[in-house]
Copies of this chain bind each other. A is one copy, B any other.
Amino acid sequence: MKGRTLTELENCVLGVVWLRGPCTAYVVRQEFASSETPHWSSSAGSIYPVLERLQNLGAVRSQSGSWGQGSRKQYQITPSGLETLRLWIGPPIAEGAAAPTFDPIRTRMFFLEALPPSKRIRYVDEAIKATRAVLDELRSNLSRRPADDMDALASLGTVFQLEGRIAWLRRIRRAISRRK
């Protein structure tokens, strides 16, 4: 497959086609909609154009299956698309992929002292509580799935991420309550 390097989103869509294909664009959308992170939109405007581009680049191809009156494109990955996917995954690990990633709570934490002192601990406590709520839900979702397939193992990353955040928040809590 010749052409430019794909974006993260494009590669991710390509991966979903590899995982679920042959499948329709709608199935890809559902996959994004059921993602644990809100990072990418699962809206039509996000997914359909990406699949079109992937097809133009030769990374996927489609055949129209009939569906009642209308018809639906079933996408599947091509050999060169698989090659592209493999190069994207690595090894080697992509430049910058190992760096710490954005976390809105961490971003806010830099400015915690902009809050009146009385609200600072409350903020940290609420952050812990909110994170734990998400974490509990993640865990209960995961427990209702086979534990050792790749999908579950990958999803587990979110659990570890949030556990890390909670440990960090607790440490902050200690530090600022001691300080005062």
Interface residues of A (CB under 8 A from B): 8, 12, 15, 18-19, 36-39, 82, 85-86, 88-94, 96-115, 119, 122-123, 126-127, 130-131, 133-134, 138, 148, 150-151, 153-154, 156-165, 167-168, 171-172, 175-176, 179
Residues of B within 8 A of A119 (CB): 91
Q: Mostly helix, strand, loop or mixed at chain A's interface?
A: helix
Task: Find out whether the CB atom of B127 lies under 8 angstroms from the CB atom of A153.
Answer: no
Q: A100-B161, A103-B157, A153-B172 are in contact. List 13 more A-B contacts (CB 8 A).
A: A82-B114, A89-B112, A91-B119, A91-B122, A92-B126, A97-B130, A98-B105, A100-B157, A100-B162, A109-B157, A153-B175, A161-B165, A164-B165
